[in-house]
């Protein structure tokens, strides 16, 4: 592998200008994963054993040019998946990130992130932030949740920690002084997008002290559609009424985002790390 650092235009929501994926695919096996079978992930799990060495070379080059920006760990895999206990690639990448003084946005479903708290503290102490983001902390931790229903989560995310464990881990991360929030991404149409569940998502974010929340709609894949046909056949036609391809209709998206925006305002929960534009 010749490259592990992906440089891109700054993400409006997550603020990252780089992403690092120490693994291909993920052993949490989320049914809705948009990476599986795509050009970003393929169909085969792989641990990128030389990722830390390659990352060191690439970040050193960026630092010499003064191009410091948030690194997303990770955009196309779970950085603290079960396999991380064996390979430790995310930890080794964090060591490189800390040494070369880059800020990091950790996006995860896993309590294993607690193993690396001292490294995250080092990243936060040393990180060089872009001039226009110096009011942001050098470490952001975002926990991804698609549903608060534990039984539904077992179906949709069979290898992942329960939503309760994720929320408990968020509380611990907050107690340690980090800036942390929740990404309710993807919200699943006709499964986790009822007004009642959306309201509960906002209330829970408030209760656990999340600094911010995100809401995002599902990217529909053939893999997930096949799963629906097998497990929830009554939803297939409903999904076809919302999706003409991989993206939900503007009508659905705008309705969803208007609802969550109003709910967040009512419960005084910050929607996004920085103000973001939802509407199409």
What's the CATH code of the domain at 205?
A: 3.20.20.70
Structural domain for 222, as ranges? 5-267
- Which pLDDT score, from 0 to 100, does residue 251 have? 96
Q: With respect to residue 67, please indicate whether it lies within any of the assigned structural domains.
A: yes
Report, as ranges of residue numbers, the positions in the chain whose pLDDT lies below 50. none
Q: With respect to residue 279, please indicate whether it lies within any of the assigned structural domains.
A: no
> Residue 218, by phi and psi: left (phi above 0), alpha (psi -120 to 50) or beta?
beta
Cα–Cα distance for residue pair 177/209, rounded to 1 Å: 12
Q: With respect to residue 225, please indicate whether it lies within any of the assigned structural domains.
A: yes
Q: With respect to residue 24, please indicate whether it lies within any of the assigned structural domains.
A: yes
Q: With respect to residue 263, please indicate whether it lies within any of the assigned structural domains.
A: yes
Q: With respect to residue 277, please indicate whether it lies within any of the assigned structural domains.
A: no
| 254: its two tokens | 């705008």
- Which pLDDT score, from 0 to 100, does residue 207 have? 98
Q: With respect to residue 276, please indicate whether it lies within any of the assigned structural domains.
A: no
Q: With respect to residue 278, please indicate whether it lies within any of the assigned structural domains.
A: no
- Which pLDDT score, from 0 to 100, does residue 279 have? 57
Cα–Cα distance for residue pair 95/72, rounded to 1 Å: 15
Cα–Cα distance for residue pair 207/215, rounded to 1 Å: 17
What pTM was computed for the model?
Answer: 0.95
**Domain count of the chain?**
1
- Quickly list DSSP for 36-48: TTSTTT-SS-EE-
């Amino acid at each position: 592998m010749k490259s592990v650092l992906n440089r891109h235009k700054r993400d409006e929501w997550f603020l990252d200008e780089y992403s690092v994926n120490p693994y291909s695919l993920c052993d949490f096996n989320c049914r809705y994963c948009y990476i599986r079978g795509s050009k970003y992930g393929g169909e085969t799990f792989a641990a990128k054993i030389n990722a830390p060495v390659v990352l060191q070379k690439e970040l050193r080059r960026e630092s010499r040019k003064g191009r410091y920006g948030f690194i997303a760990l990770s955009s196309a895999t779970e950085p603290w998946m079960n396999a991380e206990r064996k390979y430790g690639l995310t930890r080794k990448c964090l060591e490189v990130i800390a040494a070369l003084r880059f800020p990091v946005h950790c996006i995860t479903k896993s309590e294993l992130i607690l193993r690396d708290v001292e490294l995250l503290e080092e990243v936060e102490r040393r990180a060089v932030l872009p001039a226009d983001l110096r009011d942001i902390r050098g470490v952001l931790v975002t926990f991804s949740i698609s549903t608060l229903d534990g039984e539904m989560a077992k179906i949709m995310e069979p290898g992942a920690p329960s939503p309760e464990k994720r929320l408990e881990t968020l509380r611990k991360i907050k107690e340690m002084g980090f800036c942390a929030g929740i990404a309710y991404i993807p919200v699943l149409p006709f499964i986790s997008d009822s007004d009642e569940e959306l309201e509960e998502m906002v209330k829970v974010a408030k209760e656990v002290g999340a600094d911010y929340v995100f809401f995002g709609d599902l990217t529909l894949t053939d893999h997930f559609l096949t799963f629906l046909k097998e497990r929830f056949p009554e939803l297939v036609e409903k999904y076809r009424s919302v999706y003409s391809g991989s993206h939900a209709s503007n009508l659905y998206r705008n309705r969803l985002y208007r609802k969550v925006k109003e709910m967040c305002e009512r419960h005084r929960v910050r929607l996004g790390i920085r103000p973001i534009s939802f509407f199409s």
